[in-house]
Amino acid sequence: MLAITAVGLFLPFRCAKHAGSRLTAAFRLVLVLVLALSGAGLAHAEDGYDLWLRYRPLPEAQAAAYRGHVAQLVLPAATPRQQAARDELLRGLGGLLGQTPPTSDAVSVDGAVVVGTPASSPTIARLRLDTRGLGHDGYLIRSAVIAGHPVTVVAAADDVGALYGAFHLLRLLQTGGSIAGLDLRETTRMKLRVLDHWDDLNGHVERGYAGNSIWGWQKLPDWLEPRYTDYARANASIGINGTVLNNVNANAAILTPPYLDKVKALAGVFRPYGIRVYLSVKFSAPIEIGGLKTADPLDPAVQRWWRAKADEIYALIPDFGGFLVKANSEGQPGPQDYGRTHADGANMLADAVAPHGGIVMWRAFVYSQANTDDRAKQAYTEFKPLDGKFRANVLLQVKNGPIDFQPREPFNPLFGAMPKTPLMMEFQVTKEYLGFATHLAYLGPLFEETLRADTMARGKGSTVARVIDGELDGHALTGIAGVANIGTDRDWSGSDFNQANWYAYGRLAWNPMLDARSIAEEWVRMTFSDDAAFVKPVVDMMMQSREAVVDYMTPLGLHHLMGKGHHYGPAPWDASGPRADWTPVYYHRADHDGIGFDRSSSGSNAVAQYAPPVAGTFNDLSKIPDAYLLWFHHVPWNYRMRSGRTLWDELVVHYTQGVDEVKQMRATWQRMDGRIDAERYRKAAVFLGIQEKEALWWRDASIAYFQSLNGLPLPAGYAPPQHPLSYYESLSFPFVPGYRP
């Protein structure tokens, strides 16, 4: 019965929107019954598994127009990577156009698609295209004429570039782009485009809201889940070329022989897709699994141990990427345990992997309980003096903001401050602080805001994007990392809309200058529908969504007001142990008279860590944008805002606006009913309902608490919190997903 219902609901849309043919009611009924009986109805339901690579049939008129341009595939399949490009094109074209073009060694018809490199394809070699400057990853897509036949050429210098070009061609078809008169050239300056999985060996994902880890360690290396290949396809389609398999809060066991065999098996699945594996390593591994008495990076025995470990790994996985390290932060061991610096630790590991071409990503997310200085300043204080002291194969991985992936933070002052060190961006794709799985928060605008921020470090235009893509300070080793939002949920990311964050991260990793709106548009067209009446309102809704979260959680520069440990929901009242810099009261500093963290020159002086023009803006109350006011300043509740309202009234307006924005998002989505499949429509509709409830919870709890301090009335027309403060304070959440106690 279930299957019949699901298929019955689903068919009217698919027939009308995709198959392009009008089925009679009788035929439709027969089809429903056949599908229901065979169980195929459920198997083909839109459950989000296919991500943006759905390749559902295009409307017939559109498919017919494209078919003439993809009448034949001329491409090599001699290596696994070439095979991957070929398989994807066959799968994609077959799905989109309803027929797979024949493959051939030479162009013999109009409308052939020729894919390859000068080395892999004699046809491409004969074209003598200028593939220099494309690097390993770049590609050209051109309309050309070969032997009198108009063709489309996807040419690269390396097989991986050809694979990326194949995905680009498919994207053009999926988004209704023209494939006539093409002359595209795509390159990337970002060498490492990496996903960081915070996956534990027991299957738990730290800050994961999409089920368990997708790595089935217990069944590896023998059983290779088909999902691994689909993961690799999805990543390759957006140019991601590295994956760190395990949590930065690392378990040393990942470096033991049984686990390295499992890692090798995964590396084998990913290799055809141009994806290298990396591992997070625990600094104390020489003690824990090596039997040494110390992990001191200057101890020759420790150095030997790491060199031998690197040799062992590379013997198994010759293209292993390298190590990611969280050291001396949040309880993790590190070089400072032995009185050594972060550079000493990073360099020791860098020396171990250097003979194999490996790299070390050393995290700058370092702050200490023992340090009573403003937490926002500690990473800069620690690392800035080490500029120029790292080996050439070390990247310093810096979170986008100085605290910790909050809904809004100013850019991290380390960007632009360490010209002699390659800085790698670390974004969080999983929504630890933006509503977990259910809140619709498209992170494209957050990523874009950071990448475009002007550090002014080398004059105007010294954007964060130009720092990390190496242009500003002339680095060839460049990289970007995103903390993955991927798990065993059928839809991979805990909601269909969360897939957009994975997608946007990858697209911006490839080209940090892309804009968030265009990326959202691409994604919506591929993931849901190319119907203009759907795309525009949904993209508008996505573009508004992150600001809505800022409004209902942490407006005007407030930050870190969530419940301790689990990070689910508001707890601005929390002043409990074990350490001050994990409590909301440390960050908002509200009392009867005012609110905000004074990081100006009269406070912690965190502003001084920015280049003078930026520091000048942040330091000056008359210049600072409202969005960062309470990040940098402590002001009275009756402080007069640019709007003419008092700060208190302005806060209440923002909190309320956040809830209203979610209501608008819900209303927009309700209008989309019937324009996409019922399954995905309904899930997003229900999730938006959850988001509205939780947005109201954030608003009301925050207002109730701050009002308990300042005793001020709400501005006229604004509803009081639904419950007394004591109600919000009484809530507890010991079992939220992703929690690490």
Contacts with ligand GCV, residue ranges (CB under 6 A): 198, 206-207, 248-249, 326, 330, 365, 404, 432, 740
Residues 6+ apart with CB under 8 A from 676: 13, 46, 528, 529, 534
Q: Which of 60, 288, 330, 351 is catalytic?
A: 330
CB of 398 to ligand GCV, least distance (A): 11
CB of 478 to ligand GCV, least distance (A): 21
Is residue 29 left, alpha or beta, with left meaning phi > 0 and alpha meaning psi from -120 to 50? alpha
Q: Which of 199, 382, 409, 432 is catalytic?
A: 432
Q: Which is nearer to ligand GCV, 72 or 400 (CB)?
A: 400
Partners of 485 in beta bridges? none
Q: List, as one string, the DSSP characters of 649-680.
A: HHHHHHHHHHHHHHHHHHHHHHHTTTTS-HHH
Rounded to a whole number, what is the distance in angstroms from the first to the last CA of the chain? Answer: 43
Q: Which is nearer to ligand GCV, 365 or 655 (CB)?
A: 365
Active site residue 60: no
CB of 482 to ligand GCV, least distance (A): 12
Q: Which tokens sit at 323?
A: 């190590």
Place of tokens 């009308």: 16
Task: Please give the sequence-ordered ranges of beta strands (E in DSSP) within 402-467, or none if there are none.
Answer: 423-428
Q: Which is nearer to ligand GCV, 17 or 566 (CB)?
A: 566
Q: Which is nearer to ligand GCV, 144 or 736 (CB)?
A: 736
Q: Which tokens sit at 195?
A: 């996903």
* Burial grade of 490 (CB within 10 A; 0-12, 13-18, 19 or more): exposed
Q: Which of 404, 449, 469, 521 is catalytic?
A: 404
Q: Which is nearer to ligand GCV, 578 or 711 (CB)?
A: 578
Provide the 10 A C-beta neighbour count for residue 127.
18
Q: Show the CA angle centred on residue 410, arms to residues 447 and 687, nearest 5°.
A: 50
Active site residue 88: no
Cβ atoms of 129 and 90 closer than 8 Å = no
Q: Which is nearer to ligand GCV, 208 or 286 (CB)?
A: 208
CB of 638 to ligand GCV, least distance (A): 35
Q: Show the CA angle centred on residue 267, arms to residues 261 and 269, nearest 5°.
A: 115
CB of 738 to ligand GCV, least distance (A): 8
CB of 468 to ligand GCV, least distance (A): 18
CB of 428 to ligand GCV, least distance (A): 8
Cβ atoms of 596 and 650 closer than 8 Å = no
Q: Which is nearer to ligand GCV, 248 or 472 (CB)?
A: 248
Active site residue 432: yes
Residues 6+ apart with CB under 8 A from 302: 286, 292, 294, 295, 296, 348
Q: What is the rounded distance in angstroms from the CA atom of residue 609 to the CA atom of residue 587?
A: 18
Q: How is the chain split among helix, strand and coil, in percent rounded to 5?
A: 45, 10, 45
Q: Which residues are catalytic?
A: 330, 404, 432
